[in-house]
C-alpha cells in the first residue's frame, strides 16, 4: 500500500516544529554542526594521523605557513566577496534580483583578472617564500598558485551563497568536500609528501566550488533582467574599506605567526608547533557550523530594523563554552593524548602548548563572531583596537624573533638589554600570541558593554 502524502506530512511535522522552535540560526547551525563532523573526522585523520606519520619533522613544519600564506594572498578577493555578500543579502530583502545578477557578473570578471595578477606575483616572489619556509620543490609553487586561485574563488562562491541563503547547499558542500580531500590524501600523501597534501586541499576546494557555483547559475538565466547597481557603488566602497582592513589584518596575523615559527626556530620546533596546533585548533570546528549563517541572518534582521543582540550573544556564548571545555581538556590530558601514537609521542614535550593554542583559537572564534555581527550591522568601531593590536603584535614578534640578526645594527647596550629580557623560543611565540588575543578580548568586552542600538544605515526600499 503506498504511503499517503498526509503521512509524510505527519512525519515531517515534528522536524518543522523543531526548526521553528530553534530559529533559523540554530536550526542551520545544528545541521552544519552535525555534517561538519564528517569534515572534522577527515581533517583529524589527515592532520593528526596521516601527515605526522608520513612527513619528516623537517618538512612537517612547512605545512601550516604554506596554507596560511595562501589565505593571505587571497585577501583582495576575500574583501570583494565579503562586500558582495553584505549587499546581495540587502538586495534579497528588497527582491532586486536584476542587481544581484549584475553584481555576480562583475564579480566573475573581477575574479578572473585578480587571479591572473596573483599568479604573476606568486611566480615573481617565489624565491622569497622558498628561502624562508625552507621548501625546495618547484611543484609546490604551482600547486600553491592553484591553491591561492581557488582560495580566492571559494570564499567568493561561499560568501555569495551565504548572501543568497543557499544554506542547504552550503551544508552539502561542507560534507562532500572533505571526502574528496580524504581520497586524494590517502592516494598521494605517502608518495608526494607536501605536494600530496596540497593536492588534497585543492580537491576540497574544487568540490566546494562545483557545488556552490552550480547554485548561482539561475541568476545568469536570460529571463532575469540585469539592472544597474551604480547607485550602490559609493555605499559599497565605504563598506569595502573597513572590511578590507579587517580581512587583511586577521590574515596577516594568522600568516605571520606560523611563518615566524618556521623561519626563526629549528625544524623540530616548527614540527612540534604543527602537532600542538592540530589539537589546539579543535575549537575552530565550532566556527564553520555557525558563521556561514550568522552573517546573513544578522544582516537581514539589521536591514529590517530588528534587534540582533540576542543572536550576537548566543553565538559568542556557545563558542566560548565549547572552546573553554576543549582548552581545559587539553590542559589536563594533553601529554597523555600525545603518548597514544608513536607518530605523536616524539612531540610530547610540546604538549603544554596545546591548551594555550586552544585558548588562542577560542578567542579567535569569539572575535570572529563579534566581527561578523558588527560588519553585518555596518559597525566597524572594533577596527580602532584591532589595527594597532595586530600591527603591533606581528611587527614586534617578527623583530624580536629575528633579534640576533640585529646585533651590530642596533646600539650594543640596547641590543644586550632586549636580548636579556626574553628567551626567544616557541613558548615565547605562543605566549605572545595569547597575550595579543587577550588584549583583543578586552576590546570586545568593552564593545558589548556599550550596548549600542541596532538601526540600519539606510532605509530599505
Whether residue 111 contacts residue 155, with contact meaning beta carbons closer than 8 Å, is answered with no
Buried b (16+ CB within 10 A) or exposed e, 200-228: bbbbbbbbbbebbbebbeebeeeeeebee
Structural domains counted in the chain:
1
Tens of pLDDT, residue by residue over 302-357, are: 877 888 888 888 888 888 998 999 999 999 999 999 998 888 899 999 999 999 99
What's the confidence (pLDDT) of residue 163? Answer: 60
Contact 355, 331 (CB under 8 A): yes
Taking CA atoms, 125 is separated from 31, 145, 178, 216, in Å, by: 42, 11, 30, 34
The tens digit of pLDDT for each residue in 352-410 reads 999 999 999 999 999 988 988 888 888 888 999 999 999 999 999 999 998 888 887 88
Q: At what angle do helices 287-303 and 309-338 cross, to 10 degrees?
A: 170
Q: Who wins on pLDDT, 217 or 129?
A: 129
Per DSSP, 407 falls in state: B
Give the mean pLDDT of 114-120: 80
pLDDT higher at 452 or 170: 170
More reliable by pLDDT, 371 or 12: 371
Q: Is residue 371 part of a domain?
A: yes
Per mean pLDDT, which range of 24-28, 200-204, 406-410, 430-434 is the poorest? 24-28
101 occurs within a structural domain? no
Question: For the residues 120-124, what does the mean pLDDT come to?
Answer: 81
Measured in degrees and rounded to the nearest 5, phi and psi for residue 331 equal -65, -40
Model confidence at 450, pLDDT cuts 50, 70, 90, reads confident
Cell of 230: 551604480
User: Is 426 contained in some domain?
Assistant: yes
Predicted model pTM? 0.75
Per-residue pLDDT reduced to its tens digit, 90-110: 777 677 778 877 887 887 788
Indicate if the pLDDT at residue 4 is higher than 60. no
Highest mean pLDDT among 16-25, 71-80, 162-171: 71-80
Q: Which residues form the domain of 407?
A: 265-453
Q: What is the mean pLDDT of residues 250-274?
A: 91
Closest CA to 398 of 264, 271, 305: 264
pLDDT of 29 higher than 70: no
Q: Per-residue pLDDT averaged across 221-231, rounded?
A: 77
Asked if residue 206 has pLDDT above 70, the reply is: yes
Q: How far apart are CA 9 and CA 20, in angstroms?
A: 15
Band of pLDDT at residue 228, cut at 50, 70 and 90: confident
- Looking at residue 459, its pLDDT comes to 36
CB contact at 8 A, 356 and 280:
yes
Cα 433 to Cα 367: distance, rounded to the nearest angstrom: 14
Quote the mean pLDDT of the chain.
80
- Dig out the grid coordinates for 109 from the structure: 570578471
Query: 55 or 6: which carries more pLDDT confidence?
Result: 55
Residue 363 covered by a domain: yes
* Rounded mean pLDDT, 426-451: 91
For residue 410, the SS3 value is: strand
Are the C-beta atoms of residues 173 and 208 closer than 8 Å to each other? yes
In whole angstroms, give the CA distance from residue 395 to residue 71.
19
C-alpha cell at 385: 583596537
The per-residue DSSP string of 361-406 comes to HHHHHHHHHHHHHHHHTT--TTHHHHHHHHHHHHHHHHHHHTGGGG
In a domain, 390, yes or no: yes
Cell 614586534: give the residue: 396
**DSSP β-bridge partners for residue 407:** 410
What would the DSSP string read from start to end of 93-147? HHT-HHHHHHHHHHHHHHHHHHHHHHHHHHHHHHHHHHHHHT---HHHHHHHHHH
Q: 436 pLDDT exceeds 60? A: yes
Grid cell digits, residue 258: 606560523
User: Over 90: is that where the pLDDT of 273 sits?
Assistant: yes
Q: Determine, yes or no, domain membership for 70.
A: no
For the stretch 41-96, pLDDT in tens is: 777 788 778 888 888 777 888 888 887 877 777 777 777 777 776 787 677 767 77
Residue 448: which pLDDT band, with cuts at 50, 70 and 90?
confident
Residue 459 inside a domain? The answer is: no
Q: With 90 as the cut, is the pLDDT of residue 426 above it?
A: yes
Residue 323 within any structural domain of the chain: yes
Amino acid at each position: 500500500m503506498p504511503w499517503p502524502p498526509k503521512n509524510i506530512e505527519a512525519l515531517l511535522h515534528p522536524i518543522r516544529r523543531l526548526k521553528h522552535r530553534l530559529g533559523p540560526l540554530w536550526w542551520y547551525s545544528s545541521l552544519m554542526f552535525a555534517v561538519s563532523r564528517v569534515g572534522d573526522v577527515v581533517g583529524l585523520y589527515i592532520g593528526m594521523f596521516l601527515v605526522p606519520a608520513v612527513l619528516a619533522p623537517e618538512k612537517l613544519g612547512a605545512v601550516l605557513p604554506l596554507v596560511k600564506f595562501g589565505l593571505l594572498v587571497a585577501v583582495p578577493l576575500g574583501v570583494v566577496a565579503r562586500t558582495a555578500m553584505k549587499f546581495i543579502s540587502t538586495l534579497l530583502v528588497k527582491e532586486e534580483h536584476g542587481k544581484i545578477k549584475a553584481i555576480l557578473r562583475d564579480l566573475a570578471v573581477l575574479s578572473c583578472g585578480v587571479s591572473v595578477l596573483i599568479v604573476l606575483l606568486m611566480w615573481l616572489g617565489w624565491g622569497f617564500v622558498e628561502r624562508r619556509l625552507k621548501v625546495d620543490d618547484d611543484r609546490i609553487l604551482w600547486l600553491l598558485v592553484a591553491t591561492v586561485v581557488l582560495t580566492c574563488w571559494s570564499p567568493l562562491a561561499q560568501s555569495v551563497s551565504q548572501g543568497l541563503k543557499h544554506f542547504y547547499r552550503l551544508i552539502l558542500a561542507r560534507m562532500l568536500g572533505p571526502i574528496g580531500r580524504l581520497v586524494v590524501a590517502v592516494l598521494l600523501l605517502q608518495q608526494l609528501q607536501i605536494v600530496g597534501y596540497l593536492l588534497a586541499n585543492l580537491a576540497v576546494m574544487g568540490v566546494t566550488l562545483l557545488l556552490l557555483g552550480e547554485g548561482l547559475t539561475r541568476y545568469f538565466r536570460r529571463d532575469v533582467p540585469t539592472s544597474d547597481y551604480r547607485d550602490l557603488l559609493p555605499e559599497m566602497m565605504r563598506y569595502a574599506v573597513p572590511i578590507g582592513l579587517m580581512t587583511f589584518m586577521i590574515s596577516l596575523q594568522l600568516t605571520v605567526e606560523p611563518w615566524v615559527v618556521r623561519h626563526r626556530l629549528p625544524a623540530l620546533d616548527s614540527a612540534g608547533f604543527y602537532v600542538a596546533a592540530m589539537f589546539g585548533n579543535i575549537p575552530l570546528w565550532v566556527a564553520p557550523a555557525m558563521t556561514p549563517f550568522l552573517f546573513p541572518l544578522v544582516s537581514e534582521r539589521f536591514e529590517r530594523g530588528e534587534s540582533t543582540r540576542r543572536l550576537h550573544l548566543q553565538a559568542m556564548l556557545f563558542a566560548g563554552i565549547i572552546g573553554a571545555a576543549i582548552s581545559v581538556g587539553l590542559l589536563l590530558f594533553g601529554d597523555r593524548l600525545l603518548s597514544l601514537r608513536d607518530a605523536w609521542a616524539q612531540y610530547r614535550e610540546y604538549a603544554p602548548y596545546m591548551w594555550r593554542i586552544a585558548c588562542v583559537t577560542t578567542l579567535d572564534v569569539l572575535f570572529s563572531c563579534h566581527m561578523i555581527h558588527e560588519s553585518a550591522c555596518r559597525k566597524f568601531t572594533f577596527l580602532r583596537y584591532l589595527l594597532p593590536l595586530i600591527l603591533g603584535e606581528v611587527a614586534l614578534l617578527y623583530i624580536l624573533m629575528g633579534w640576533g640578526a640585529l646585533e651590530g645594527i642596533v646600539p650594543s647596550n640596547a641590543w644586550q638589554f632586549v636580548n636579556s629580557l626574553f628567551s626567544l623560543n616557541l613558548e615565547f611565540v605562543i605566549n605572545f600570541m595569547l597575550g595579543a588575543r587577550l588584549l583583543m578580548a578586552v576590546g570586545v568586552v568593552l564593545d558589548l558593554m556599550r550596548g549600542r542600538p541596532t538601526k540600519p544605515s539606510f532605509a530599505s526600499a
